[in-house]
Chain A
Amino acid sequence: MSHLDFTAARPEIALALMAMALLLFGVFRKSRVVDAVNTLALMALAATALLVLFVPGSDRIIAFGGTFIVDAMARVMKILVIFAAGIALVMSVHYMKWERMERFEYAVLMLLSVLGMMVMISSGGLITLYLGLELQSLSLYVLAAMHRESARSAEAGLKYFVLGALASGLFLYGVSLVYGFAGTTTFAGLTQALKSGISIGLIAGLVFILAALAFKISAVPFHMWTPDVYEGAPTPVTAYFAAAPKLAAIAVFVRVLYEAFPHAEEAWRQVIVFMAIASMLLGAFAGVVQSNIKRLLAYSSIGHMGFVLVGLAAGGQEGLRGVMIYLIIYLVMTLGVFAAVIGMRRDGRPVEEIEDFAGLARTNMGLAFAIGALMFSLAGIPWLAGFFAKYFVLLSAVKTGLVALAIIGVLASVVSAFYYLRVVKVMFFDEPKEPVDPAPFELKLITALSVIFVLFYVVWPGPVTALAQAAIRPFIVP
Chain B
Amino acid sequence: MDTIFLAIVFLPLIGAMLAGLFGTAVFRYAGSAPPQIAVHEDDDDGHGHHHAYDGPRWPMMLTTGILVFVALLSWYAFFDVTAGNVYKVTVAEWVRSGKLVATWALRIDTLSAVMLVVVTTVSALVHIYSLGYMAHDPHQPRFFAYLSLFTFAMLMLVTSDNLLQMFFGWEGVGLASYLLIGFWYTRPSANAAAIKAFVVNRVGDFGFALGIFATFALFGSIEFDTLFAAAPEMAGKTVPFLSWQVDALTLICLLLFMGAMGKSAQFLLHTWLPDAMEGPTPVSALIHAATMVTAGVFLVTRMSPFYELAPLAQQAVVFIGAVTAFFAATVGLVQNDIKRVIAYSTCSQLGYMFAALGVGAYGAGMFHLFTHAYFKALLFLGAGSVIHAMSDEQDIWRMGGLFPYLKKTWAMMLIGTLALTGFPLTAGYFSKDAIIEAAFAAHTPMGTFAFWLLVIAAFFTAFYSWRLMFVVFHGKSRASRETLARVHDSPPVMLVPLYVLAAGALFAGWLFKDAFIGEKAAEFWGKAIYLAADNDVMEAMHHVPGWVKAAPFVMMVGGLALAFLFYIVAPSLPEALARAFRPVYLFLLNKWYFDELYDRIFVRPAFAIGRFLWRKVDQKTIDGLGPDGVSARVLDVSTWASRMQSGYVYHYAFAMLLGVAGLVTYLMVRGG
Binding site for A on B (CB under 8 A): 634-635, 637-639, 641-642, 644-645, 647, 649, 651-653, 655-660, 663-664, 666-668, 670, 672
Q: Flag if B672 contacts A288 (CB, 8 Å).
A: no
User: Are A288's CB and B635's CB within 8 A?
Assistant: yes
**8 Å CB contact of A225 from B634, B637, B652, B659:** B652
In the assembled complex, the CB of A224 is this many whole angstroms from the nearest CB of chain B, namely: 4
A79 vs B635: C-alpha distance in the bound complex, in angstroms? 41
CB atoms of A222 and B656 under 8 A apart: yes
On whether the beta carbons of B649 and A221 are closer than 8 Å, the reply is no
- Contact between A289 and B651 (Cβ–Cβ < 8 Å)? no
Residue A203 is within 8 A (CB to CB) of chain B in the complex = yes
Supplied contacts A198-B672, A215-B656, A224-B651, 9 more A-B pairs, CB within 8 Å: A163-B649, A163-B652, A200-B668, A203-B668, A204-B664, A228-B647, A274-B663, A286-B638, A288-B638
Whether A286 pairs with B663 at a CB distance below 8 angstroms is no
CB distance from B667 to the nearest CB of A (A): 5
Q: Chain A residues near B672: list those with CB within 8 A.
A: 198, 200, 203, 264, 266-267
Contacts of A198 in B (CB 8 A): 672
CB neighbours of B670 from chain A (8 A): 270
| 15 CB-based A-B contacts, threshold 8 Å | A163-B656, A166-B656, A166-B657, A198-B672, A207-B663, A208-B664, A215-B656, A221-B658, A225-B652, A282-B641, A285-B638, A288-B634, A289-B638, A289-B639, A418-B634
A246 within 8 Å of B by Cβ?
no
How many Å lie between the Cα of A178 and that of B664 in the bound state?
A: 14
Q: Chain B's nearest CB lies how many Å from the CB of A110?
A: 25
CB contact list, A17-53 vs B, under 8 A: none
A 225-262 to B, binary, CB cutoff 8 A, 1 in contact else 0? 10110000000000000000000000000000000000
Chain A residues with Cβ below 8 Å from B664 are 203-204, 207-208
Q: By the criterion CB–CB under 8 Å, are A415 and B645 in contact?
A: no
Min CB gap B628→A, angstroms:
14
Q: Complex Cα distance A200/B670, Å?
A: 11
Closest 6 CB pairs of A and B: A224-B652, A221-B659, A286-B641, A288-B638, A267-B672, A289-B638
CB distance from B499 to the nearest CB of A (A): 62
The distance from the CB of A407 to the nearest CB of chain B, in whole angstroms, is: 16
In the bound complex, what is the Cα–Cα distance between A415 and B631 (angstroms)?
A: 9
B638 in contact with A170 (CB, 8 Å): no
Contact B660 A163 (CB under 8 A): no
Residue of A163, A203, A418 touching B653 (CB-CB under 8 A):
A163
B630 CB, min distance to chain A CBs, angstroms: 9
Question: How long is the Cα–Cα vector from A220 to B652 in the complex, in angstroms?
Answer: 11
| Residue with the highest number of chain A CB atoms closer than 10 Å, among B637, B642, B659 | B659
Shortest distance between the CB of B648 and any CB in chain A (Å): 10
Q: Chain A interface (Cβ within 8 Å of chain B)?
A: 159, 162-163, 166-167, 170, 198, 200, 203-204, 207-208, 210-211, 215, 220-222, 224-225, 227-228, 264, 266-267, 270-271, 274, 282, 285-290, 415, 418
Please give the distance in Å from A41's CB to the nearest CB on chain B. 32
Given contact pairs A267-B672, A285-B637, A224 touches B655 in the complex (Cβ within 8 A): yes
- In this complex, which of A224, A227, A274 has the most chain B Cβ atoms within 10 angstroms of its Cβ? A224
Determine how close the nearest CB of chain B comes to the CB of A31; give it in whole angstroms. 41
- Determine how close the nearest CB of chain A comes to the CB of B636; give it in whole angstroms: 9
Report whether A162 and B653 are in contact in the complex, using a CB–CB cutoff of 8 Å: yes
Interface of chain B, main secondary structure = helix
Q: Please give me the residue from chain A that is nearest to B652 by CB atom.
A: A224
Q: Total A-B residue pairs with C-beta atoms closer than 8 Å?
A: 85
In the bound complex, CA of A270 to CA of B670 (Å)? 10
- Which residue of chain B is the closest to A155 with respect to CB atoms? B647
B634 and A415 within 8 A (CB): yes
In the assembled complex, the CB of B447 is this many whole angstroms from the nearest CB of chain A, namely 71
- Known contacts A288-B638, A289-B638; A270/B656 CB under 8 A: no
Closest A residue to B646 by CB, please name it. Answer: A224
Q: What are the residues of chain A within 8 A of B666 when measuring CB–CB? A: 270
The answer, among A163, A203, A290, for a CB contact under 8 Å with B642, is A290
B645 and A227 within 8 A (CB): yes
From B644, B645, B660, give the contact of A208 (CB < 8 A): B660
Q: Residue A289 contacts which of B635, B656, B660 (CB distance < 8 angstroms)?
A: B635
Report yes or no: A167 in contact with B656, Cβ–Cβ below 8 A: yes
CB-defined contacts of B641 to chain A, threshold 8 Å: 282, 285-286
Q: Are A207 and B667 in contact (CB under 8 A)?
A: yes
Contact at A162–B649, with CB atoms within 8 Å?
yes
Report the bound CA distance from A163 to B658 in whole Å.
14
Let me know if A207 and B660 touch, CB within 8 A.
Answer: yes
Given the complex of chains A and B, what is the CA–CA distance between A274 and B658 in angstroms?
A: 14
Is the beta-carbon distance between B667 and A286 smaller than 8 angstroms? no
Which residues of B have CB within 8 Å of A271?
663, 667
Partner of A170, one of B634, B651, B660: B660
Report B-chain residues with C-beta under 8 Å of the C-beta of A227: 645
- Residue pair B645, A286 in contact (C-beta under 8 Å): yes
Task: Collect the chain A residues with CB atoms within 8 Å of residue B660's CB.
Answer: 170, 207-208, 211
A282 to B645: give the CA distance in the assembly, Å.
Answer: 11
Complex Cα–Cα for A84 and B139 (A): 64
A62 to B652, CA, bound (A): 38
Residue of B whose beta carbon sits closest to that of A222: B656
Choice from B639, B645, B663 contacting A211 with Cβ under 8 Å: B663
In angstroms, Cα B636 to Cα A288, docked, is 10
Contact at B645–A221, with CB atoms within 8 Å? no
Q: How far is the CA of A207 from the CA of B389 in the complex (A)?
A: 96
Contacts of B655 in A (CB 8 A): 221-222, 224
CB distance from A312 to the nearest CB of B (A): 16
**CA gap between A271 and B668 in the complex, in Å:** 12
- A267: chain B residues within 8 A (beta carbon): 667, 672
Shortest beta-carbon distance, B20 to chain A, in Å? 35
Q: Are A224 and B656 in contact (CB under 8 A)?
A: yes
Bound Cα distance A227, B658 (Å): 19
> What chain B residues lie within 8 Å of A225 (beta carbons)?
652
Determine the distance from Cα of A198 to Cα of B544 in the docked complex, in whole angstroms: 114
Cα distance A198–B668 when bound, in Å? 12
- For B657, the chain A residues whose CB sits under 8 A away are 166
Give A366 to B642 CA distance when docked, in angstroms: 32
Residues of B with C-beta under 8 A to A211? 656, 659-660, 663
Chain B residues whose C-beta falls within 8 Å of the C-beta of A222 in the assembled complex: 655-656, 659
Q: With A286-B641, A286-B642 as given contacts, are A166 and B653 in contact (CB-CB < 8 Å)?
A: yes
In Å, the complex CA distance between A398 and B660 comes to 28
CB of A302, distance to nearest CB on chain B (Å): 11
**Which of B647, B651, B653 has the most CB atoms of chain A within a 10 A radius of its CB?**
B653
* Residues on B with beta carbons closer than 8 Å to the beta carbon of A270: 666-667, 670
Contacts of B653 in A (CB 8 A): 162-163, 166
